[in-house]
């Protein structure tokens, strides 16, 4: 088994190499500023920020007939608001984090072995929210998530997966720590992480990589897997993935929503939560979905009836908690909701 690691000299890369050596992989690894990679493997120099270097690198005979390809390079720079960034530095970041990696990937795919092979890319934050101060890095990582799905769909003899490692204790965070002015609150947040040593264990990252490489099914194909949060180690859950084409892929949120979806009896939803304790867990998907739908229903009602009082998303959690935990409040909530017009003013009074 031949595995190529682009930026194998990185912290994550070194740990992956150590695990792959135990499994007798033939390893080709690249380094840039430092040649301190693992011994007893093929170490090749590559500056991925240079397209000239990429084209030169692709002529190396040691790259031929690979089985696995892991592409790791990343930079958070330039850090700061988009309008604060030097546009040329911003463009260079897109090149290093995405465009140049795709140029390299294009060439390497032509050098793979004839059997079906695997490619692993790396995601970052910003998929489910708007991150500040890392726009070039975030946009590049989102582009990587989509290209993973696209290439997996296009190339039937190559399996593409992208992994989001989460907060791992690696050198990349020094870029934030060295730039407190532009990183702002993220500088404080990163310092707290180091002080509390609150990081995703690097072993968990390497275990996930090994799981993906060893998988003989299509569980991980075209998907963005969160090392920290997803159940990638659970074989039963992986069976669910095989039956759903949309899980862990880049999609528009609530894509099929219609106003008719909000025409329901609120008490029916609350009773469903009441009768099923598993649904009452705030972090469960069902709870989050019902909470969101209930909030939308309340917003619709207050605007339709021109009610000045507003119920916020956090208030929905309070309503659910009161309805499912306390009988006295359950009756009051029932009286507020079990009518043609929701009694928002009275409902809000019991939430204080």
Domain stop point among 241, 271, 297: 241
At 72 the pLDDT is 98
At 59 the pLDDT is 97
Using CA atoms, how far apart are residues 180 and 185, in angstroms rounded to an integer? 8
| Cα 89 to the center of its chain, rounded Å | 25
**Closest residue by Cα to residue 179 from 92, 84, 83:** 84
Domain stop point among 241, 267, 290: 241
Please tell me which of 101-105, 231-235, 346-350 the model is most confident about, judged by mean pLDDT: 101-105
Residues 294-299: what's their mean pLDDT? 85
Confidence band of 131 (pLDDT split at 50, 70, 90): very high
**Which structural domain range is residue 14 located in?**
2-241
At 342 the pLDDT is 76
Residue 70: strand pairing partners? 5, 120
At 306 the pLDDT is 67
Looking at the chain, the whole-number percentage of residues with pLDDT higher than 70 is: 96
- Residue-wise pLDDT for 307-329, tens only, equals 666 778 888 998 898 888 867 78
- Residue-wise pLDDT for 68-118, tens only, equals 999 999 999 999 999 999 999 999 999 999 999 999 999 999 999 888 899
Using CA atoms, how far apart are residues 131 and 247, in angstroms rounded to an integer? 22
Q: Is the pLDDT of residue 37 over 80?
A: no
Confidence band of 142 (pLDDT split at 50, 70, 90): very high
Residue 253 lies in a domain: no
Q: Say yes or no: 221 and 271 in one domain.
A: no
At 36 the pLDDT is 57
- Tell me the average pLDDT of the chain: 91
Q: Say yes or no: 175 and 84 in one domain.
A: yes
Residue 248 lies in a domain: no
Q: Say yes or no: 143 and 11 in one domain.
A: yes
Strand order of the β-sheet with 68-71 is 42-45, 26-31, 2-6, 68-71, 117-122, 158-164, 224-226
Residues 244-261: what's their mean pLDDT? 86
**CATH code, domain with 61:** 3.40.50.720
Q: Is the pLDDT of residue 41 over 70?
A: yes
- Note if the bond before 78 is cis, omega within 30 degrees: yes
Please tell me which of 36-50, 170-184, 239-253 the model is most confident about, judged by mean pLDDT: 170-184
At 99 the pLDDT is 98
Q: Say yes or no: 145 and 191 in one domain.
A: yes
* 4-to-32, 46, 154 alpha-carbon distances in Å: 15, 13, 22
At 305 the pLDDT is 66
Domain stop point among 192, 215, 241: 241
Residue 197 lies in a domain: yes
* 46: its two tokens: 């590559």
Query: Strand locations in 62-126, DSSP E?
Result: 68-71, 117-122
Using CA atoms, how far apart are residues 19 and 23, in angstroms rounded to an integer? 7
Residue 251 lies in a domain: no
Q: Say yes or no: 168 and 292 in one domain.
A: no
DSSP string covering 317-331, please? HHHHHHHHH-HHHHH
The residue that leads in pLDDT, 256 or 72, is: 72
Residue 102 lies in a domain: yes
- Residue-wise pLDDT for 262-280, tens only, equals 888 888 889 999 899 889 9
Q: Say yes or no: 147 and 83 in one domain.
A: yes
Q: Which residues have C-beta within 8 Å of that of residue 151, sequence separation ≥ 6?
A: 119, 158, 160
Other beta carbons within 10 Å of 236: 7
Residue 217 lies in a domain: yes
Q: Say yes or no: 203 and 100 in one domain.
A: yes
Q: Say yes or no: 162 and 198 in one domain.
A: yes
At 123 the pLDDT is 97
The residue that leads in pLDDT, 4 or 326, is: 4
DSSP string covering 91-105, please? HHHHIIIIIHHHHHH
Residue 24 lies in a domain: yes
Q: Say yes or no: 232 and 167 in one domain.
A: yes
Q: Say yes or no: 306 and 183 in one domain.
A: no
Confidence band of 46 (pLDDT split at 50, 70, 90): very high
- Determine the length of the chain: 352
The residue that leads in pLDDT, 104 or 218, is: 104
Residues 49-77: what's their mean pLDDT? 97
Q: Say yes or no: 75 and 148 in one domain.
A: yes
Q: Is the pLDDT of residue 239 over 90?
A: no
Q: Say yes or no: 96 and 175 in one domain.
A: yes
Residues 343-351: what's their mean pLDDT? 79
For tokens 């008719």, the residue is 260
Q: Is the pLDDT of residue 35 over 80?
A: no
Domain count, the chain: 2
At 244 the pLDDT is 85
The residue that leads in pLDDT, 349 or 10, is: 10
Residue 167 lies in a domain: yes
DSSP string covering 110-149, please? TTB-SS-EEEEEE--S-SSS--SSBHHHHHHHHHHHHHHH
């Amino acid at each position: 088994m031949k595995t190529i690691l682009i930026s194998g000299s990185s912290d994550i890369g070194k740990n992956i190499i150590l695990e792959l050596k135990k499994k007798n992989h033939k390893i080709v690894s690249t380094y840039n500023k430092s040649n301190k990679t693992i011994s007893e493997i093929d170490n090749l120099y590559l500056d991925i920020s240079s397209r000239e270097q990429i084209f030169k690198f692709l002529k190396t005979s040691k790259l031929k007939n690979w089985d696995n390809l892991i592409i790791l390079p990343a930079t958070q720079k330039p850090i700061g608001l988009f309008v604060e960034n030097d546009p040329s530095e911003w463009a260079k970041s897109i090149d290093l984090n995405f465009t140049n990696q795709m140029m390299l990937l294009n060439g390497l795919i032509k050098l793979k072995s004839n059997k079906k092979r695997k490619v692993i890319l790396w995601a970052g934050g910003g998929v489910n929210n708007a991150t500040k101060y890392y726009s070039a890095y975030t946009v590049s990582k989102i582009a990587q998530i989509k290209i993973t799905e696209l290439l997996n769909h296009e190339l039937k003899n190559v399996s593409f997966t992208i992994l989001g490692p989460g907060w791992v204790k690696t050198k990349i965070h020094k870029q934030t720590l060295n730039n407190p002015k532009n990183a702002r609150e993220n500088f404080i947040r990163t310092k707290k992480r180091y002080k509390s040593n609150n990081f995703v264990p690097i072993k968990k990252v390497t275990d996930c990589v090994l799981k993906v490489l060893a998988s003989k099914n299509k569980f991980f194909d075209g998907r963005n897997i969160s090392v920290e949060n997803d159940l990638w180690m659970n074989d039963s859950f992986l069976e669910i993935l095989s039956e759903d084409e949309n899980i862990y892929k880049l999609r528009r949120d609530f894509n099929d929503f219609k106003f008719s979806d909000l025409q329901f009896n609120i008490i029916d939803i609350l009773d469903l939560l009441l009768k099923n304790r598993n649904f009452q867990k705030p972090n469960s998907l069902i709870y989050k979905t019902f909470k969101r739908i209930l909030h939308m229903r309340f917003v619709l009602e207050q605007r339709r009836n021109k009610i000045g009082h507003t119920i916020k998303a956090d208030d929905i959690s309070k309503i659910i908690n009161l309805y499912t935990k306390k009988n006295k409040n359950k009756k009051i909530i029932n009286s507020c909701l079990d009518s043609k017009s929701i009694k928002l003013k009275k409902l809000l009074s019991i939430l204080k």
